[in-house]
Amino acid sequence: MTQSRTHTCNALRLANVGESVTLVGWYDNMRKVSRNLGFLILRDFYGTTQCVIESEEMLDALNNVNNESTLSVTGVVRERSNKNPRLETGDIEVVPTEIKVLGKCIYNELPFEIARSKEADEAVRLKYRYLDLRNPAVKEKMVLRSKIIAELRQSMIAHDFLEITTPILTCSSPEGARDYLVPARNHPGKFYALPQAPQQFKQILMTSGFDRYFQIAPCFRDEDARADRSPGEFYQMDMEMAFASQDDVFAIIEDVIPPVFAKYGVYKKASDAPFRRISYRDALALYGSDKPDLRNDLTLQDATSLLSDCGFAPFAQNSVQAIVVDGFTATRKVIDKIMADCEMISGQKGYWFKLDEAGELTGGIAKFLQEKKAEVIAGLSLKPGDFVGLAAGGRQTALKTAGVLRRLLGENCEKHMKKDCYEFCWIVDFPMYEIGEESGELEFCHNPFSMPQGGMEALDGENPLEILAYQYDLVCNGVELSSGAVRNHDPEIMVRAFSLVGLKEEDVKAKFPAMYNAFCYGAPPHAGIAPGVDRMIMLIAGEESIREIIPFPMNKNAQDVMMGAPSSVSEKQLADVHIAIVKDDAKE
């Protein structure tokens, strides 16, 4: 215990009655009963203690002290006559003999009430984050974060992984997002990049003879915010294994992660090993998503051949995907909201109809299906009472829309949606290449450092769009926690893989000189993964926004409104790093 106190504000019990103690903490609130009687609540990191002031002089001295000032209270512990069973210190109270103000709060009014800070506007919470964090409900998420990270670290060490930190100032690397660049003062015109991930370093560690590496790694990506993604920086449990296969990585993750979710999560049940494995193509066909929520047992059916010629214009010449829901008793108002939400989220309309208890097709687009009623009922294996949700468009569009509709239907039908567990799965067999939406040219689909299935033979002899890679995603409750891969450790295969996207051997050597050269000295087969720490904690804590589990998050515009970042710098600072700011007149 520090010298400034004898106990914390959550430590005193009946066994301490009669003791002289010193507590320190924040002036939470005061309830005055009379001129010489008041009840002061003192709060510290650990909890609260009630202090009963029975001195008019002491009460008068506190009249000029604002809430949230820090105090030192010395007094005697006594048993409370009106105990509070909701508090751990509810059996006792402290009668002060001395109160000192340690740090004044100079403001009479606070931006928000500390205990209700989560109800305040987010911009205000982020600006006054130091006050927001005083709220026990906010603070406990940071305590939970610390415990989870410690547990993950201990588990990885127990699995013989060595924690190694990798550089923060490095070179730009193609990870799929924009880099944060740092000008090099001693090298005019050149820049460091903050790492989007420790990808190259951890692979080089494998070639250096380290067998199992991990770190709780900071990563930096200049990308827009989402509910499950923080802009700017985030943390991942980065790991890599030498002489390892995909199965080796899966075995480690399936042993490390579920116990942490079960121990600390709002749900106390997590998937047992082995997790279900679903190919990328099957995930899209069955769930309309490559990050399916397996708590929802609804699946998609391809109804293109059945419904594209039914006379309903949006179905003509399009892919049609159906979700059959039995036991769906939602009202028309709820159904209309589901369809509206589907359009808002996916940008495409959803459609529906029912087979009522009398065996008739009703509601939604039912009038277009009457002429082929028997065929529809047989084709979708419908039973009286079944509800059918539908999506249409190009195949990818129809699948994506149906995936959104499947999620919304599951959320509105308890029969098909478990909500008290963590369901993990692996999405495997990603395509190695795809046609870029913007470029219209062949691009890497997932990770350029992945090993193609079939190796050199596949690269030389197969249609690039048919080549699969040893790539995998870890998904939990519809949230992608991580991407990983068996790495391409063979320089010849690497050069050939990059050649298909238009990069020559000299380009590969120029872009990845250290890793390419290291591989030329005998690299072991290796594989790894990097589950997102922030996303894991968000799921474990049951929070909807990732900002709730980050101590000092940025806002949606990647601004730290508390510190005022990003900020302007002086001309001298710019000159030191050989930078000149050029105004964009078009934006003036």
Give the pair of three-digit tokens for residue 587: 């934006």
CA dist 200 and 450 (Å) reads 12
Instruction: Tell me the two tokens of residue 386.
Output: 């079944």
**Residue 43 pLDDT more than 80?**
yes
Amino acid residing at 356: D
**Cα–Cα distance for residue pair 519/489, rounded to 1 Å:** 6
588 CB-side CA count, 13 A: 5
- In the predicted model, what is the mean pLDDT of residues 428-452? 90
Query: What pLDDT sits at residue 229?
Result: 72
pLDDT of residue 586: 58
Average pLDDT over residues 346-367: 95
Q: How far apart, in whole angstroms, are the C-alpha atoms of residue 326 and residue 87?
A: 47
Annotate 71-89 with DSSP letters as a single string.
EEEEEEEEE-SS--TTSTT
Which long-range CB contacts under 8 A does 175-182 form with residues at least 24 apart?
Answer: 175/199, 175/221, 177/221, 177/222, 177/223, 178/221, 178/222, 178/223, 179/220, 179/221, 179/222, 180/220, 180/221, 180/222, 180/232
Q: Which of 28, 7, 25 is nearest to 17 (CA)?
A: 7
Digit-coded pLDDT (tens) for 187-244:
999 999 999 999 999 999 999 999 999 999 999 998 877 766 778 899 999 999 999 9
pLDDT higher at 248 or 328? 248
**Model confidence over 131-166: pLDDT tens digits?**
999 999 999 999 999 999 999 999 999 999 999 999
What's the pLDDT at 273? Answer: 94
Beta strand ranges found along 107-252 (DSSP E): 162-163, 181-183, 191-193, 212-221, 232-242
Average pLDDT score over residue span 360-371:
95
Confidence of residue 419 (pLDDT cuts 50, 70, 90): confident
pLDDT for the residue numbered 176: 65
Greater model confidence, 226 or 185: 185
**To the nearest whole number, what is the mean pLDDT of the chain?**
94
pTM to 2 decimals? Answer: 0.91
Homologous superfamily of 296-416 in CATH? GAD-like domain (3.30.1360.30)
Choice between 175 and 273, residue whose per-residue pLDDT is larger: 273
Measured CA to CA, the distance from residue 20 to residue 13 in angstroms comes to: 13
Average pLDDT over residues 492-519: 93
Q: Is the pLDDT of residue 588 over 60?
A: no
Tokens 């190796």 locate to 455
Identify which of 508, 467, 476, 474 has the alpha carbon closest to the alpha carbon of residue 491.
Answer: 508
Asked if 202 and 240 touch (Cβ cutoff 8 Å), the reply is yes
Instruction: Specify the pLDDT at position 430.
Output: 96
Query: Please, which pLDDT band fits residue 438 given cuts at 50, 70 and 90?
Result: confident
**pLDDT tens digits for range 170-179:** 988 765 678 9
C-beta separation of 378 from 394 below 8 A: no
For residues 21-36, average pLDDT: 95
pLDDT above 90 as % of the chain: 89
463, β-bridge pairs: none
Peptide bond into 431 cis (omega under 30): no
Paired sense of beta strands 37-43 and 48-53, if any = antiparallel
Name the percent of the chain lying above pLDDT 70.
98
Q: How far does CA 285 lie from the centroid of its chain?
A: 25
When pLDDT is cut at 50, 70 and 90, the band that residue 102 belongs to is very high
Q: What is the mean pLDDT of residues 487-491?
A: 96
Amino acid residing at 194? L
Topology of the domain comprising 139-276+424-551: BirA Bifunctional Protein; domain 2 (3.30.930)
Give the model's confidence band at 1: pLDDT under 50 very low, under 70 low, under 90 confident, else very high. Answer: very low
436 against 212, higher pLDDT:
212
Report residue 473's pLDDT band, with 50, 70 and 90 as the boundaries.
Answer: very high
CB 459 within 8 Å of CB 500: yes
Domain-wise residue ranges, the chain: 14-103, 139-276+424-551, 296-416
Which among 173, 168, 191 is positioned nearest to 579, based on CA atoms? 191
CA distances, 5 to each of 24, 29, 553 (Å)? 6, 20, 32
pLDDT at position 174: 60
Q: To 5 degrees, how large is the angle CA 13–CA 19–CA 24?
A: 75
Residue 587: per-residue pLDDT: 57
DSSP string computed for 313-346:
GGGTTSEEEEEEETT----HHHHHHHHHHHHHHH
pLDDT given for residue 549 in this prediction: 96
Distance CA(583)–CA(548), nearest Å, equals 36
Pick the CATH number of 14-103 from 3.20.20.60, 2.60.410.10, 2.40.50.140, 3.30.365.10: 2.40.50.140
Lowest mean pLDDT among 226-235, 333-342, 373-382, 501-510: 226-235
> Which stretches of 222-329 are DSSP H helices?
246-264, 280-287, 304-307
Q: pLDDT per residue over 522-545, tens digit each?
A: 999 999 999 999 999 999 999 999
Query: By C-alpha distance, which of 188, 265, 237 is closest to 578?
Result: 188
Cβ proximity of 60 and 17 under 8 Å: no
| Phi, psi angle pair for 205, to nearest 5° | -60, -35
Q: Is pLDDT at 2 greater than 60 in this prediction? A: no
**Average pLDDT of span 398-417:** 95
